[in-house]
Amino acid sequence: MWKFCALAFALTFAFAAARADDYPSHPIKLIVPYAPGGGADAVARIVGKRTSETIGQPIVIENRGGAGSIIGTEDVHKADPDGYTLLLGQSGPISINPAVYKQLPYDPEKDFAPITMTTAYPYILVVNSKLRRNRCRTSSPWSKPGPDNSITARPASAPPIISSLNCFRAGQG
């Protein structure tokens, strides 16, 4: 998977190089709008290292976390549109923030263009195993009672998770 991502990332630079013979002529900055040490930082460092080896220029990882990922995302939006400042844009700054904040200093649809998908990963919802609740009356496809009536989970998308959270709120879980 990582080799594919690095290749896709590198091909993007190859196409850019066809338009600008000297690109990339200096290091590329990859902004991660989250604190160092998390999942996004790890992905950026792996993709950056492999891409750097492919294109022959360093990829410098810069963590610019804060304000719900708005700070780092805004930095990329304000950067020169020369291909030397990239954003590791996860769902937070690109799809969640526009739904949560009334006003953002960027428009993800107009201000950014996708290069490649770097990773795909499932989310799971867990609960303290000492909580003994029955399965939600509005059956969730990702949960089922275990042998001790606890809930076990499978990978899921947001709708079943939200449905189950609503069941817990309503006291049905």
Per-position pLDDT tens, the chain of length 173: 555 555 455 555 555 544 567 899 999 999 999 999 988 999 999 999 999 999 999 999 999 999 999 999 999 999 999 999 999 988 888 888 888 888 999 999 999 999 888 888 776 667 777 766 555 544 455 455 555 555 545 444 455 555 566 666 665 54
pLDDT at 51: 93
Sequence ranges of the domains in the chain: 2-111, 122-173
- Is residue 5 within 8 Å of 119, Cβ to Cβ? yes
User: What is the DSSP-derived secondary structure letter of residue 94?
Assistant: I
pLDDT given for residue 83 in this prediction: 92
pTM above 0.75, yes or no: no
- How many other β-carbons are positioned within 10 Å of the β-carbon of residue 83? 16
pLDDT of amino acid 48: 95
> From the CB of residue 161, how many other CB atoms can be counted at a distance below 10 Å?
17
Query: How far apart, in whole angstroms, are the C-alpha atoms of residue 35 and residue 45?
Result: 13
Topology classification of domain 2-111 = D-Maltodextrin-Binding Protein; domain 2 (3.40.190)
First to last CA, the chain: 38
The pLDDT value given to residue 39: 87
Bridge partners of residue 153, in order along the sequence: 143
Structural Rg of the chain based on CA atoms? 20
Report which DSSP code applies to 123: B
